[in-house]
Chains A and B, each alone.
Chain A
């Protein structure tokens, strides 16, 4: 929270700059949810949380190339507590200043504040700084450092300091490879003991032919000294609108989930469980206005046995895209005796836009082959509908209503009112 407070002076310093910003985007979504929860054996609960999401993006703030970005939310419970122990909560997802300076055939990008790093095998939220240099001949170098952002529930969820980076090289639309790594000092190992979290790995995109590309990543846990993940995908595009994809993944649970920061590692990192999966999919988009997708995936897990997931989806964009219906079916078929129940999933949806009005309906159901984990129920479903009205080009009001039943909650009635605000000084601003 202290670090969050530290961002307040930064924001106040930036505020006058907004007046001179070349481009300013402000987005907000207000949600008022109303839910009635009923679980067998527990008293009924009524929750009514009001949440405000806010996003600000300002470019060329005071100086060319200097920008400011912020996104977060705050919530107040108007009835029973909706989550956690408090009736109010807030989170700053990111808030940082960024500077970009371009040179002939090169660029320098710097960030400071709270931000996410998604690069190569890196997936971190940090309070700190990052520098990225784009060099000639497709070379990129990036590095970051700072303090990992902890979870609200306690101080034992992340390490003291974190640093990392990626070295990348791309060539002529044929390959794009990178080496990346992180080092988090003194983080919690299963929340009981502490150790340094060290992860290194490589990522690749390789296209030996314009119709084929192979992409993926491998990561090595330098703390446990073994490979954590190999995940690769091959895409073949034999003709316009047709994509055939095949994927393979091999994960060592112990090495992949060692640093799960949950009380008693739910992901069972102490076991020698191995998770393998492979499968494929086919997408066809050239049968306008239809889009067809079919998929198959086989899961092989040491602890629970084998399972298959297969199915598909068909969707359409009719009336110039004003009416978009879709239908999907998937089945999970398990060979395990009870630990993974087999089930069918059916989904149907449609959305319709007419002038300033929008409406949609969505139905999804899971039909289990037998009663679900000792309950008296073998199904779950949710039916929801939404209606919206565009009050002005920057303001939209919508409301959702849903009824659901599942093995855990017999009857759920959920309502939601949503007010979306989107202001931009830029025509065609990012959404």
Chain B
């Protein structure tokens, strides 16, 4: 076990040293973005540029502003504006969290993106005991009928 960890540390240290020796301009972390125009880093605020309503629904683009509140409650917008979501997001973007069987926590899959609000960040093994008592409905949405293979390891009684 010590050997792989040491190897990983060495690779990361090498990357860090090389990074410090570079002096080039910042570029986006992600590859090609679906939006026709380049987006600034951080959460996109659609209504910063889109002043006219959406073509099909005629709703204001402000309903899709990616604020912290939107990220938390995007289920409302996504259930009726999936077509607009698809301009920038592939379907797999949704299914990294919303799936029948998720392989890793989204915050592990995207551990290099701490700026993204992803569920169960940090220690969730302990914290889920609190959240589960506080608001079990929020657990049920994703784990009630799907994605509960790991839940039943302990939740048998």
Chain B residues within CB distance 8 Å of chain A: 1, 4-5, 8-9, 11-12, 15-16, 18-19, 22-36, 40-43, 45, 47, 53, 57-60, 62-63, 65, 67-69, 72-73, 76-80, 82, 86-95, 98-101, 103-104, 108-109, 111-115, 121-123, 125-127, 129-130, 133-137, 139-141, 144-146, 148-152, 155-157
Q: For residue B18, which residues in chain A have a CB less than 8 angstroms away from its CB?
A: 357, 389
User: Is A307 a contact of B111 with CB atoms below 8 Å?
Assistant: no
Minimum CB–CB distance for B46 against chain A, Å? 11
Residue of A322, A351, A396 near B115 (CB, 8 A) is: A351
Minimum CB–CB distance for A7 against chain B, Å? 15
Q: For residue B19, which residues in chain A have a CB less than 8 angstroms away from its CB?
A: 354, 357, 359, 387, 389
User: Is A354 a contact of B79 with CB atoms below 8 Å?
Assistant: no
Q: For residue B144, which residues in chain A have a CB less than 8 angstroms away from its CB?
A: 257, 259-262, 267
Q: For residue B9, which residues in chain A have a CB less than 8 angstroms away from its CB?
A: 401
Q: For residue A133, which residues in chain B have a CB less than 8 angstroms away from its CB?
A: none
Instruction: Give B9's nearest chain A residue, CB to CB.
Output: A401
Interface of A is mostly: strand
User: Is B68 a contact of A215 with CB atoms below 8 Å?
Assistant: no
User: Is B8 a contact of A415 with CB atoms below 8 Å?
Assistant: yes
User: Is A430 a contact of B34 with CB atoms below 8 Å?
Assistant: yes
- Count of interface residues, chain A, beta-carbon cutoff 8 Å: 156
User: Is A317 a contact of B122 with CB atoms below 8 Å?
Assistant: no
Instruction: Give A319's nearest chain B residue, CB to CB.
Output: B26
Q: For residue B16, which residues in chain A have a CB less than 8 angstroms away from its CB?
A: 359, 387
User: Is B57 a contact of A170 with CB atoms below 8 Å?
Assistant: yes
Given contacts A291-B43, A355-B22, whether A262 and B151 have CB atoms under 8 Å apart is yes
Q: For residue B5, which residues in chain A have a CB less than 8 angstroms away from its CB?
A: 34, 36, 413, 415
User: Is B27 a contact of A360 with CB atoms below 8 Å?
Assistant: no
Q: For residue B112, which residues in chain A have a CB less than 8 angstroms away from its CB?
A: 351, 358, 360, 386, 388, 398, 400, 418
User: Is B95 a contact of A275 with CB atoms below 8 Å?
Assistant: no
User: Is A267 a contact of B109 with CB atoms below 8 Å?
Assistant: no
Q: Could you tell me the distance between the alpha carbons of A270 and B125 in the complex, rounded to whole angstroms?
A: 25
Q: For residue A125, which residues in chain B have a CB less than 8 angstroms away from its CB?
A: 99-100, 146
Minimum CB–CB distance for B79 against chain A, Å? 6
Q: Could you tell me the distance between the alpha carbons of A332 and B133 in the complex, rounded to whole angstroms?
A: 12
User: Is B27 a contact of A285 with CB atoms below 8 Å?
Assistant: no
User: Is B41 a contact of A364 with CB atoms below 8 Å?
Assistant: no
